[in-house]
C-alpha cells in the first residue's frame, strides 16, 4: 500500500515534463505503479500454482497431451521471467527509498519520464542502454 506519510497520487495523475523531475508526487506515482505491477505478477503466479495443483495433465489423446504440456512449459517460463522481474521491481523500490530512482546508474542523468512510464524498472537512459547493449554484442561476438 502507498505510504500516506509520503503523500498520495490524485486519480488520473500522470507525471509531466512541466514538473520538477522526481518530485514527491512523481515518486509516489512510480511507487504505486511498481507496487501494483508486483502485486499483479504475484497474483498471476498464485493462479498458476493453483492450476498446477489440480494434478497432472491427463489428456487421453497424445497430441492433446503434448499440446497441453507445451502450453504449461510456456506458462512456467513466463512465470520464471516474472519472478526475475519482481527482483527488478524490488530494486526499483529500494532506489525510490534511497532517492536515486529515475537517474541513470551509468551517467547519473535523468532517465526520463516517458521511459520510466514505459519501463518503470529502467536503470539507464536510452543512450546508456544502447551503449551497454553494443558492448554486450561485441563481447558475445568475440
Q: Report pTM.
A: 0.76
Neighbours of 124 (CB within 10 A): 19
- What CATH number does the domain located at 21-101 have? 1.20.120.910
- Domain residue spans of the chain: 21-101, 103-142
Report the candidate in 112, 117, 99, 118 with the shortest Cα–Cα distance to residue 14.
117
The cell 558475445 sits on which residue? Answer: 140
Model confidence pLDDT, tens digit, residues 87-133: 999 999 999 999 999 999 999 999 999 999 999 999 999 999 999 99
Compute the C-alpha angle 101/93/76, nearest 5°.
120
pLDDT: which is higher, 55 or 141: 141
Amino acid at each position: 500500500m502507498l505510504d500516506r506519510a509520503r503523500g498520495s497520487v490524485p486519480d488520473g495523475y500522470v507525471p509531466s515534463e512541466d514538473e520538477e523531475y522526481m518530485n514527491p508526487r512523481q515518486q509516489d506515482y512510480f511507487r504505486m505503479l511498481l507496487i501494483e505491477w508486483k502485486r499483479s505478477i504475484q497474483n498471476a503466479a498464485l493462479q498458476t500454482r493453483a492450476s498446477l495443483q489440480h494434478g497432472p495433465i491427463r489428456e487421453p489423446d497424445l497430441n492433446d497431451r503434448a499440446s497441453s504440456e507445451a502450453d504449461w512449459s510456456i506458462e512456467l517460463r513466463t512465470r520464471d521471467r516474472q519472478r526475475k522481474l519482481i527482483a527488478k521491481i524490488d530494486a526499483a523500490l529500494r532506489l525510490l527509498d534511497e532517492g536515486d530512482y529515475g537517474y541513470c546508474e551509468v551517467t547519473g542523468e535523468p532517465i526520463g519520464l516517458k521511459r520510466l512510464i514505459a519501463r518503470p524498472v529502467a536503470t539507464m537512459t536510452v543512450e546508456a542502454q544502447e551503449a551497454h547493449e553494443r558492448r554486450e554484442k561485441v563481447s558475445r561476438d568475440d
